[in-house]
Copies of this chain bind each other. A is one copy, B any other.
Amino acid sequence: MTTGVRRRMGVEERRQQLIGVALELFSHRSPDEVSIDEIAAAAGISRPLVYHYFPGKQSLYEAALRRAADDLASRFAEPHDGPLGARLVRVMGRFFDFVEEHGPGFSALMRGGPAGFAAGARADGAVPAAYAMIDGVRRAAREQILDHLGVRGTPPARLDLVVRSWVALAESTALIWLDGRRVPRGELEVQLVHDFAALAAVSAAYDADMAALVTRMLADEPADGPFGDLVGRLATLLATATATATATAKATAGTAATAGAPVPAAVGGTPAGQALR
């Protein structure tokens, strides 16, 4: 970032440079571990000059967080072209790029440490700035998804729940991934798209509006897209599970009948079982 040529920066330019330097440092270590001296050194200016632009570490941390939040939210933007599953896979790719670029800082922030950093300075009980920004990014994610689903205005309660809980799932999956990287991120990007379909399907199993939405969502999916592929694989898995369950139930038919359980074949074991042959 620094060149051999020294020149005088404008105020706004210097502020933006400091935010960039700070974000880079805060991304790789917990904010508690980054000092103003270090930020000054990385920016090639004196410590007092940093204080000329920012009153303290917290305001610089919040500015860096603001830039990171805007950056992440901008990655959710995706053209409304082509099947939904493929769009979501592309967004997940950009989300994991972000997580990879800001790994330790993202972990520290989401694990409540630096939210504490931001909250500690306030005795007035106001929502910590860091939390408000995280919440803003979550809202941006939800709005993008609802927009792609063609939902305008306030979403129905069950759809809202599916979307919000899936956003939380994406966050926690990223955090678990950062903690050891035991599963390749490419696999997780696709898996999260599948998880969205799965959570929507569970909701749809008991709610007519959600069922209509899921059917509409899947109707536009190509058979070789992420959703189409999953539907095929799940059909096989369900058929195996149903066949196994039917076999187990037949073996214990006497017990089940005594307990008043319905005949398991009523679940539709036979037709689904045919898919296996």
Q: Give 1 or 0 for each of A247-258: 1 = CB within 8 Å of chain B CB.
A: 011000000100
Q: Give 1 or 0 for each of A216-232: 1 = CB within 8 Å of chain B CB.
A: 00111111100010111
A172:B183 contact, CB within 8 angstroms: no
Known: A119-B116, A198-B198, A214-B237. A271 touches B268 (CB 8 A): no
Chain B residues whose CB sits within 8 angstroms of the CB of A125 once the complex forms: 30, 32-33
Considering only residues 104-145 of chain A, those with a C-beta below 8 Å from chain B are 111-113, 115-121, 123, 125, 127-128, 130-131, 134
Question: Which of the segments A15-23, A91-99, A199-207 contacts the partner chain?
Answer: A199-207
A234 in the interface, Cβ–Cβ < 8 Å?
yes
Given A116-B120, A218-B244, A224-B262, 8 more contacts at CB 8 Å?
A: A158-B183, A195-B198, A219-B244, A223-B266, A228-B264, A228-B267, A232-B268, A235-B272
**How many A residues are at the interface, by size bracket?**
35 or more
Considering only residues 238-252 of chain A, those with a C-beta below 8 Å from chain B are 238, 240-242, 244-245, 248-249
Alpha-carbon separation in the docked complex, A176 to B131 (Å): 16
Q: Which secondary structure dominates where chain A touches chain B? A: helix
Give me 24 A-to-B residue pairs in the complex whose CB atoms sit less than 8 angstroms apart, sorted by A's number: A111-B131, A112-B115, A112-B116, A112-B128, A116-B117, A116-B119, A160-B176, A160-B182, A161-B182, A164-B176, A194-B202, A198-B202, A205-B233, A215-B237, A219-B244, A219-B248, A222-B264, A223-B245, A223-B261, A223-B266, A232-B266, A235-B235, A268-B275, A272-B275
